[in-house]
Structure 1
Amino acid sequence: MATEAGGPQCFEAVVLAAGAGSRFGGGKLLAPYMAGVLLDGALAAAFAAPARSVTVVTGAQEQAVAQAAIRLADRLGVHARLRMVHAADYALGMAHSLRMGIASLPAETEAAFVFLGDMPRVPREILRPMAEAVDAGAPAAAPVFQGRRGNPVLLSAALFPQVLALSGDAGARAVLEGLGERLALVTAPDDGVLYDVDRAEDLPR
């Protein structure tokens, strides 16, 4: 079963873009980055994944973040693959946004990539091997660089009930740690799977 892009038919992608970016000083995902805004990097990577659609979970600055996502999707010619979900209680932490994104996916979804909106340098080379690992039976897949596990992650639908029970700001970390050696690790070619932007000084000058 394959999409036109050659990936698993019922895989989806979720981009968590709900946070207020308080440590950044606010407006983090809309901060200038390269030729666009910071969010563009994670979104472009999500659209490059072997997934049917990309669901952007908004929260703070809902309308502005949604418009930024629409602009990039239009520029890439993939507007039909873009979905939006708003996490009204985004201030409760990342787990709430993740739950909203996963809960919104079609019932037949077999697995979901989870991208973080403040990670703009995800290497595309890891995406298909991650999908292949889960398609072959792994409950989840994650990239690793120099011994450190990074993002995005790919969660099979078997893990969705655990994800929907999460709370706080830790995301799916506890779910992944509980898998032990069943978590498929894909070696990343660079540290883009670790690089995120928390503060303004984290942006390239």
Structure 2
Amino acid sequence: MVTAIVLAAGNSLRMGTQNKLLLPFAGTTVIAAVVEQIVKAGLQELIVVTGNEPDLVHQALIHLPVKLVHNAGYGTGMTGSIQTGIQSAKGNGYMICLGDMVLITAQQYESLNTTFEKAYHRDKTCICLPRFNGVKGNPVIFSSAYKNAILQHDDPEGCKAIIQANNPHIVWVEMDDDAVLRDMDYPEDYAALINL
């Protein structure tokens, strides 16, 4: 079983005054649109890590079957939120999902999940990464064998170093569009996504 861990804690400083995860998208909010696709993909455990405006994020997701955990130190960077999610996860893999990647479909999440489960039988230390036209995207799935390494990781901005140090265990999943590359940091990114 893979646990999906959705990072929904950041301050959205580059977006301006608004929390980007609460902006409207496709008849709902950005964060709900993302989580709905993960739910449709059939992942059995879904954890959302909150930080900034946790009550509003909770309200946006109240209709969905998720477990919310709060990262009180969310201001220190993404790694703390990953660690918070992993501490509550029960899966043999951790799918680290970004709360602003609204174009990734349930089928793409499902493809990553299926690939990981097959790879895990061959290599208990596998890491699954999506790729489009040779460019690495998100979400990443870490085997639970990396739990301690992630919990002890001290780079505040993510776990790239763990991926780089375990290159022989990477399993690439080729994607047929750039959804796995399209996050939403700036107002112009949001404008481009809602005008697709």
TM-score of the alignment, normalized to the shorter chain, above 0.5: yes
The structure with the largest helix share of the pair is 2
Q: Which residue of 1 aligns with 2:178?
A: 191
Report Cα offsets for 1:96-115 as digits up to 9, x if no partner.
00000001113xx2112111
Offset at 1:86? Answer: 0.2
The equivalent residue for 1:172 is: 159
CA spacing shift, 1:196–1:83, aligned 2, 3 Å: same
CA RMSD of superposed structures (Å): 1.6
- Aligned residue-pair number: 186
Structure 2 residue 65 is the aligned partner of structure 1 residue 58: no
The answer to whether 1:67 aligns with 2:51 is no
> Counterparts of 1:145 and 1:124 in 2: how far apart (Å)?
17
In the other structure, the counterpart of 2:40 is: 48
Indicate the SS of the match to 1:70: coil
- In structure 1, the partner of 2:70 is 86
Q: 1:127 aligns with which of 102, 106, 109?
A: 109
Write the distance in 1 (CA, Å) between the matches of 2:168 and 2:41: 24
Q: Normalization by structure 2: what TM-score? A: 0.88
Q: Is the 8 A contact 1:134 1:141 kept in 2?
A: yes
SS of the aligned residue for 1:23 comes to helix
What residue ranges of structure 2 are gaps of 5+ in the alignment? none
Letter in 2 for 1:201: E
Corresponding residue for residue 7 of structure 1:
none
**Displacement after TM superposition at 1:52 (Å):** 1.3
TM-score by length of 1: 0.84
Match of 1:15 in 2: 6
Offset, 1:167? 3.1
Letter in 2 for 1:11: V
**Larger displacement relative to structure 2 (126-135 or 115-124):** 126-135
- Aligned equivalents of 1:168, 1:45: Cα separation in 2: 29
1:29 aligns with 2:33: no
Match status 1:202 vs 2:189? yes
Amino acid at match of 2:110: R
Query: Which moved further from structure 2: 189-198 or 117-126?
Result: 117-126
List 4+ stretches of structure 1 deviating above 4 A: none
Give identity over the alignment, percent. Answer: 31
**Per-residue CA distance 1:44-64 (angstroms, 9 max, x = gap):** 232133421210100000100
Equivalence for 1:181: 168
Distance 1:190 1:98 in 2: 26
Contact 2:26 2:33 in 1 (8 A): no
C-alpha separation between the residues in 2 aligned to 1:178 and 1:64? 38
Q: Partner letter of residue 83 of structure 1?
A: K
Q: Distance in 2 between matches of 1:127 and 1:27?
A: 24
Aligned counterparts of 1:33 and 1:182: Cα–Cα separation in 2: 36
Which amino acid in 2 is paired with 1:28?
K
- Relative to structure 1, the CA distance from residue 49 to residue 112 in structure 2 (aligned partners, 3 Å threshold; closer, same or farther) is farther
Q: Structure 1: 5+ residue runs without aligned partners?
A: 1-9, 74-78
Distance in 2 between residues matched to 1:55 and 1:31, nearest whole Å: 21
- Match of 2:97, SS? strand
